[in-house]
Structure 1
């Protein structure tokens, strides 16, 4: 018997190129050439049991198929595939795992992703399910059962169904960070913005109609966010006007200054050109900065055409939609339930919601704030959720002294001389002042 040279490629690599043709070559060497299993295994670089198994499977085929495959005729690839298909290797992957989600649970997550429009990552999906259905035990037991899923189980569902969120990348693939978050201090850079609660572009129709038609629910959300820690100070209102914008801004600054006593840290606040702020007016912005000077703070307006600095606070609005309004929007039936739900949400946001933003490393605002030099950070994060129409008198008593001081300085600069007592009293008549100091008023509030 002539010597057969070894194959240039091992059996392991050849079956990756064409599995059935490789197996047919082995079968012909044993059945036609009469070579032993050990010899053929040596030629192909595999174990003799592999050869024996292939021969055993081949002998089990119909006799007509065996004769056709062993004939010297040139067979087409389709013919070989059809006749040898029973010899194709079967997957050795496990069919399941005792801890994986059931098929019904997997299809429920698939339905939430596609039909409900919850096109978020698996961690956000896990958080949304818990917040949406945690109190559904008596309403819908099946949706409530989804809250028992772990984030790892939901990740597996995402992998099995190939669920992918839409990501927008720059042309060169690089990410431009807004700040150097490692060097940035807490409450050095802040952003102020308003949001319409009834947003048809981000809410389901039933939630949207509830927020739009219910007259007891405020229409606008006022948010001031710290870039370093993502701590947010929030209020609501039924109307938008510049007085609310300025006095909410001053009230938050007073709260930070008198609670933390960090007067040496200069705070820069960015906001858009809306009518509730400076409306794009440089003169009005200069007046606001004159008022904020006593609080060691200043504001700036975003470029009306393009400004990436507003992206941070705009991204925070998505958290309000996906983690609060979408899962809890139908529970907002009156003013009392609205205040209870919003207070509960911002406790969750500050202390339990991990942020995936740059510099956050999936930590909560409380965890990031605790890593700074601030003492008792939980006290700073107890800012009350308020409706501005109901609380504007308290806010005026707190911040009007800063408006009064700024107006006095402005008049003295124009007159180029100190004001007399009559002028000071006349100027003070349009302001409301608190009795002692801002700290006492804030504590009382």
Structure 2
């Protein structure tokens, strides 16, 4: 017998959509470019044809060669630029992130209840220089894009006003407060930063190790600041006063083994001697 492949399509399909209806669906799709659900409403309203959107999806898949417009294809995201931490000079690479003060892995129930009772802000914005471990912090009550932008600008203004002239590369995660998934916000940020001699690089999603220095400093914040001092905070002013003392300790008194047991400010003096001495008096803002 004949062994050639034959069509396996059924000879009789009583439930198949009539060819005239399929033609109408394809024609309407080419005219309107609507999605399946809206196309179903369009056909019922203007063509007096009732076709479920699920059926429309199957019709369009079968007749995709008859569609007269190009389907959108997702544009591949740009490859993240390599950031060389180890050869970077002071303030050439700055990691930026947001920390929640009420961290149940660090604080106990009494401390968290105390913060809630006194309505202490929960968001700590942080920026740390990879080379020197010099750090800046600020606070807010809301994790918003506007607050993120203000923190960026505050960090830039603090560094530039104290003699930092290097091109600054900010590395951030994909949080919405840093631009997130909005390509337009990220594009505008990059354009804005270029005017200040700065650059923005988004880390890979889910790769906290690409902001490792700042993530590690969060643990220090808990151990050296929030755990021992949080019960002394009963207002925003108390929080800022305590933060002022802590960030002075962090930048000027706390020695880092990775810096040959120097403080961040001592390291800055050695490798960036022209920097303004007042840079060490960081004043946390709210």
TM-score relative to the length of structure 1: 0.44
Aligned to 1:221: 124
Give the superposition deviation at 1:307: 4.9
Match of residue 279, structure 2, among 369, 380, 383 = 380
Residue deviations 1:373-422, cap 9 Å, x none?
A: 333553112232111xxxxxxxxxxxxxxxxxxxxxxxxxxxxxxxxxxx
Q: Is the 8 A contact 2:93 2:169 kept in 1?
A: yes
Relative contact order, higher structure (CA 8 A, sep 6+)? 2
1:316 is aligned to 2:217: yes
Give the superposition deviation at 1:214: 2.1
Give the superposition deviation at 1:330: 0.8
Aligned to 1:353: 254
Match of residue 233, structure 1, among 123, 136, 157 = 136
Aligned to 1:285: 186
1:298 is aligned to 2:202: no
Aligned to 2:46: none
More helix by proportion, 1 or 2? 1
How many aligned residue pairs are there? 204
- Return the alpha-carbon distance in structure 2 between the equivalents of residues 343 and 306 of structure 1: 30
Give the superposition deviation at 1:221: 0.3
Q: Is the 8 A contact 2:244 2:282 kept in 1?
A: no
Q: SS state of the match for residue 298, structure 1? A: strand
Q: SS state of the match for residue 260, structure 1? A: coil
Give the superposition deviation at 1:306: 2.5
Residue deviations 1:329-359, cap 9 Å, x none?
A: 1111122222211111111111111123x4x
Give the superposition deviation at 1:256: 1.1
Aligned to 2:89: 185
For structure 2, the 5+ residue unaligned runs are: 1-82
Distance 1:299 1:361, change over 3 A: same
Q: Is the 8 A contact 1:269 1:300 kept in 2?
A: yes
1:343 is aligned to 2:247: no
- Return the alpha-carbon distance in structure 2 between the equivalents of residues 203 and 322 of structure 1: 10
Aligned to 2:168: 267
Aligned to 2:103: 199
Distance 1:302 1:379, change over 3 A: same
Distance 1:288 1:365, change over 3 A: same
Asked which structure has the greater CA Rg, the reply is 1
Q: Is the 8 A contact 1:225 1:233 kept in 2?
A: yes
- Return the alpha-carbon distance in structure 2 between the equivalents of residues 319 and 378 of structure 1: 24
- Return the alpha-carbon distance in structure 2 between the equivalents of residues 180 and 321 of structure 1: 25
Match of residue 369, structure 1, among 264, 268, 286 = 268
Distance 1:180 1:293, change over 3 A: closer
